[in-house]
Amino acid sequence: MNAVHGAYAPPPSFWEALKEEIKQAAPDMGIDDIGFASADPFVSLKAILQRHRDQGYESGFEEPDLEKRITPALPGTQPSSIIAIAVAYPAKMSNPPKSGPGKYRGIMARSAWGRDYHHVLREAMVRLEAFIRKRVPEAVLESMVDTGALVDRAVAERAGIGFSAKNCAIISPKFGSWIYLGEMVTNIPFPPDSPVTEDCGECTKCIDACPTGALVGPGQLNAQRCVSFLTQTKGFLEDEVMRKIGNRLYGCDTCQIVCPKNKGLNWTHHEELQPDPEKAKPLLLPILDMSNREFKETFGDTSAAWRGRKPIQRNAVIALGNFKDASAVPKLSEVLLKDPRPELRGTAAWALGRIGGEEALNNLDKGMKSEQDEQVRSMLQQALHQLKPEDAGTDTEPVSSKPEAEQSAVNEPMGVPAVPVDTLYYDEVHTPIGTLTVVMSPQGVCLIEFGTFTVKEAVLQQWSRTWAGGAGYERDEERLSDVTSQLTRYFNGELKEFSVPLDMRGTPFQLQVWSVLQDIPYGVIRSYKDVANAIERPMAVRAVGGANNKNPVPIIVPCHRVLGANGMLVGYGGGIETKRALLKLEDSLPERKGL
């Protein structure tokens, strides 16, 4: 099909026919979906972007000129339409390598698996440009992939690629949100496609599961809180953020993993986008020894390389701290004492504080004597405070003094041997307070974590090493169906007492406290003082707070029903707002009881 686009422009039917020809040829160009939209400005988007900026939610990577972000443009001519493309990428890895003592691994987001998608999409766009120019030689075409001024999600939505989801992704009815997006502005007047009318409905699983609460509302992302953004920054990170990063080295997939629209979807037809398991889930310790050249040789062909090695190395240090990998102490100590980059030294101090032990403590002391950077010194002080014996009784409820009887309770022997099992079984259950990961041993429910298995992997592995002999995890929905069903009924207001077997693992003192917690009825609240009296250790209020906070089976063992003095909502592993939500569900918030 040849045409001359000028004074004697072809009739609309010509452009409709060309559009259909392009759609038919798209798969051969490496394009999985293609849509056409008008090039009118995205007028309503400007107010949204301005509000986003005013609230401080931007990442800083965006085009600063809002007009450019909403106004399609071409050099020397007026744009007539925009072509949007989508390329599907894999969501699952075949035979992923496993972490283990001394060989713990990080994880790259799926957008960093395989070859850098920027190159893959640009090459597809080059093929698309060539296809169009062969038929319309004088066409003006301007392609962009991810780094262009226009908001690619807005273009994709207008062009009918998919709908804009609550997690800020575009969800294709066919491919889910596992798609890369690109767009091409042109002066060819292609007839537009119709937008997708599907939406998220009542589902808020992505918002509930976001590790840092960065999804502040449907379709609203505070990039400054987003784990994906934070893993790409180069500076210091806060303690709370580092704990929630887990073992992520680049990016975060949580809001896509929990999305029902993505269930069962995995795309393997683009060979260049398939993951190399050793790059997608690499060993952590070798990353710390990489030179710039070695980093580029290993990760340079992936999208994770664009910010350089420092963020990846910092995130590897964080992951080792979250795994509490004692075998990493020598390397982390070397980073602390010798690395020229303050961000790496400070993060190593934090990780050593998480791991603990005499060697870590000694090297933190050494670092404190030689360190000059104020931020690193602050992180050293925090790590030392965490490890010094006199600070071991850090509590969840403030008290003015610590009597001798209470001190003995805090220092209850921790050397309780783990009870090894061959396998720990888990499943995830979606609730109004977010996704819960529920773990069972052959004896009963032994652990509930706030968050998905992927998000909590480092924490779960550490718990297994401490209390289950390092057993591996296996997903088994059928085995856990009774407990997940009971949890669902509880959150629906249909169940007030759980009847599942428990396998509680902790110190003798903790087990004593947790036993009392199990006897607190639905809708009833107790104080830490009440629990201390119940175990006949009235002076151990502070220690009771610590044991309450370490309850491994929250909700089923209702530690949320224990409050501080005067009904204060203090100290809860899932966060104060989660505690408030559980008490509200049971109609037992203190303000409702007149406390």
CB 555 within 8 A of CB 434: no
The reported pTM is: 0.69
Q: Are 99 and 159 found together in one domain?
A: yes
* Count of domains for the chain: 3
Domain shared by 471 and 341, yes or no: no
170 alpha carbon, distance to own chain's centre: 18
Do 277 and 340 fall within a single domain? no
End residue of a domain, out of 391, 408, 439: 391
Residue 176 in domain: yes
Which of 323, 338, 357 is the endpoint of a domain?
Answer: 323
Is 414 among the domain residues? no
Q: Are residues 303 and 384 in the same domain?
A: no
Active site positions, annotated:
559
pLDDT of residue 230: 95
Q: What is the pLDDT of residue 458?
A: 78
What's residue 9's pLDDT? 59
* Token pair 């805090």: residue: 410
Dihedral of alpha carbons 256, 262, 266, 270, sign: negative
Is 148 within the bounds of a domain? yes
Sort strands 220-221 and 215-217 into parallel, antiparallel or unpaired. antiparallel
Per-residue pLDDT, 45: 92
So what's the pLDDT on residue 146? 77
φ/ψ of residue 427, rounded to 5? -150, 165
Is-contact 82 57, C-beta < 8 A?
Answer: no
C-alpha distances (whole Å) from 19 to each of 28, 129, 130, 351, 411 are 15, 13, 14, 56, 74
Maximum CA pair distance of the chain?
A: 96
CATH number at residue 336: 1.25.10
Residue 46 and residue 126 share a domain: yes
- Residues 180 and 194 placed together within one structural domain of the fold: yes
Domain extent at residue 338: 324-391
Would you say residue 411 lies in a domain?
A: no
Render 455-473 in DSSP notation, one character per residue: TTHHHHHHHHHHHSTT-EE
427: enclosing H helix or E strand: strand 423-431
**Are 386 and 508 within one domain?**
no
Q: 336 with 453, same domain?
A: no
User: Are 214 and 356 members of one domain?
Assistant: no
Please tell me the predicted confidence (pLDDT) of residue 394.
35
- Burial readout 366-403 (b: 16 or more C-beta within 10 A, e: otherwise): ebeeebeeeebbebbeebbebbeeeeebebbbeeeeee
- The continuous run of DSSP H or E covering 84 comes out as strand 81-88
Q: Is residue 409 part of a domain?
A: no
* 315 and 341 together in one domain: no
Could you state, in chain order, the average pLDDT of each consecutive group of 10 residues for the chain (595 residues)? 48 89 97 96 92 90 90 94 97 88 92 95 96 96 87 95 96 97 96 92 88 89 93 93 93 93 95 95 96 95 93 96 92 97 97 93 94 94 78 35 33 50 92 93 94 84 86 92 96 94 91 94 92 89 86 95 77 79 89 43
What's 159's DSSP letter?
T
CATH (domain of 571)? 1.10.10.10
From residue 360, give the alpha-carbon distance in Å to each of 150, 245, 325, 345, 427.
Answer: 49, 22, 11, 13, 35
- Strand partners of residue 431: 434
In this structure, which amino acid lies at residue 533?
N
Q: According to DSSP H, which parts of 88-178 are helical? A: 117-135, 152-158
Q: Which of 323, 343, 367 is the last residue of a domain?
A: 323
**Residue 438 included in any domain:** yes
CB neighbour list of residue 261: distance below 8 Å, 6 or more residues apart: 165, 171, 176, 177, 200
Return d(Cα 145, Cα 306) in angstroms, integer: 14
Look at residue 295 and tell me if it is in a domain.
Answer: yes
The answer to whether residues 296 and 329 belong to one domain is: no
250 and 334 belong to one structural domain: no
Query: Which pLDDT score, from 0 to 100, does residue 208 have?
Result: 85
Residue 413 lies in a domain: no
